[in-house]
Structure 1
Amino acid sequence: MNHDTKLPHGTRNVVSTHSVYGAPCWVSLTSRDLETTQDFYSAVLGWRWRTGKLGDRFRIALADGVPVAGIAAVASMWQMAVAWTPYFAVRSADEAVSRVQERGGTSAVGPISFPPGRAALLADRDGATFGIWEGELVSDWETWRRSTPAFIRLHTRDAFDAAIFYGEVLDWASERPGCCEVHYEGGEVVLRSGGDVVARIVSGALGSAPDPTIRPHWQVHFAVQDVTACARVAEQNGGSVLSKSDDEAVLRDPDGAQFTVTSRRER
């Protein structure tokens, strides 16, 4: 597994994940330069910041006062790639890790304790990196998912095979309370929680290149009011625009992390 992610940080006791399982509950970014990263995302997404509990290299991003993402400037120190990583809420971190390993995935870190919860970094059978979180959430889940993060999308070789893998690991499409529904819509596997889209899985011809944006990976989509303005500001602040339409743009920050901004009306 590639070590291109970090563990959640700065968590606080707000709402138990016992109300939602298998859905994304947090996103985090590894970077090399904390100040540059903060300045970029402040300009592009309007985020403000507070210090995380793990030290000066860690920050919590706030959108209208709501914690929406974590940043860790540890890529160089820990020899990790720069990338965004989603975390999924689970009942038991130990059980989820065992399920991943039994189904051909890998475990890089954990589960380890991050009071008030436990976390692990994992990879699916195709090498796409993701995290799991057992315990209290950083922010109220309903508030978090309706703030800046719109949804996440897995770019992988076989969407149906991936859906089976994640479904078995994360209890998707089960009858257990709080679990997610899985549908096939518009050529994609779509994950819904409470009727809202929280994740998508799409098939494609992907290689095994070192670049995490070319091989199978989870892409984080952030909801914004004006896609064109975000793309313009990204370029003005050292980032780049990889592709753009009226409703969506794939951007790269100055450190190389790729993400997508999506129009709020397209959520």
Structure 2
Amino acid sequence: MSRDLRAAQDFYGAVLGWSFRPGAHEEGFSVALADGDPVAGIGAFAHTFRVAVSWTPYFAVDSADETAARIRERSATVAVGPLAFGRGRAALAADPDGAVFGIWEGHRAKWGVGRGSAPAWLELRTRDTFAASIFYAEVLRWATECEDGCDVVYKSDQVVLREGTREVAVINGGAVESAPDPHVRPRWHVYFRVPDVDAAAAAAVAAGGSVPRHPAPSPLGREATLRDPDGGLFTIVS
């Protein structure tokens, strides 16, 4: 979600080396390409939907209406939709702690987190790991016997989501059985892969962004957290 499509394209093109093509059906929307392959979407809809500039993961579902109903049944919020968008239907929601995420019903390319051009990793930073993992497992049908289902496993103080043998996301909020942390601002966080973290961080500053967390080693590789000029946070990892 951005405010100004051209400004966002200029920033992410300079920092991440992306190119862009117009969305097929929506004005004000473009598909970001990494080496010619789709990696993300940028839409100048922050003002229209009255939401903050941010990166938001969209999870594929079989029925947007049924999933939206499950979200509402669990005291969470469906802020926008489900509505027609391009070759499918989408909705924007917030979990019970306020972390924003999207759902998508429609065409699915052979594309997924951690593979090819897709984002490298997703992380939910939340106050209560256990409650969040139950919410998403029930709403998105994780840990089911479906052919395209995902496995949910406990690993140290985190809940890890696996697709086959690949770890694709983590729910992180402290020890699983600990009391909720009131200081955590719940949100989904997206990691993008870059060849050179230090160079990308320097390019972000030069393009008007900032570096809240400077390049450093991590379990995923060398990483840094960046903020675009409108406030959108994301992490880059080599």
* TM-score, structure 1 as length reference: 0.79
1:158-181 CA distances to partner (integer Å, 9 max, x unpaired)? 111100000001111111211001
| 2:172 match | 202
Contact 1:148 1:224 in 2 (8 A): no
Q: Please give the root-mean-square deviation of Cα atoms over the aligned residues, in Å.
A: 1.9
Quickly say closer, same or farther: Cα 1:258–1:100, change in 2 above 3 A: same
| 2:188 match | 218
| 2:72 match | 101
Deviation at 1:197, TM superposition (A): 1.5
Quickly say closer, same or farther: Cα 1:39–1:109, change in 2 above 3 A: same
Deviation at 1:146, TM superposition (A): 2.4
Contact 2:113 2:168 in 1 (8 A): no
Contact 1:128 1:216 in 2 (8 A): yes
State how 1:126-205 maps to structure 2 within 5 Å.
126-137=97-108, 139-142=109-112, 145-203=115-173, 205=181
CA distance in 1, matches of 2:133, 2:163: 15
1:28-79 CA distances to partner (integer Å, 9 max, x unpaired)? xx11222221111111111000111345422110111111111112324554
- In structure 1, list runs of 5 or more residues that go unmatched: 1-29, 208-213
- Larger RCO of the pair (alpha carbons < 8 Å, separation 6+): 1
What is the identity percentage for the equivalent residue pairs of Structure 1 and Structure 2?
55
Deviation at 1:187, TM superposition (A): 2.3
CA distance in 1, matches of 2:102, 2:45: 17
Quickly say closer, same or farther: Cα 1:82–1:249, change in 2 above 3 A: same
Is structure 2 residue 23 aligned with structure 1 residue 52? yes
Contact 1:68 1:144 in 2 (8 A): no
Aligned residue pair count: 227
| 2:225 match | 250
Contact 2:124 2:189 in 1 (8 A): yes
Aligned partner of 1:200: which letter? V
Aligned partner of 2:237: which letter? T
- In structure 2, list runs of 5 or more residues that go unmatched: 175-180
| 1:34 match | 5
Task: Find the partner of 1:239 among 198, 209, 221.
Answer: 209
CA distance in 2, matches of 1:112, 1:77: 14
Quickly say closer, same or farther: Cα 1:170–1:226, change in 2 above 3 A: same
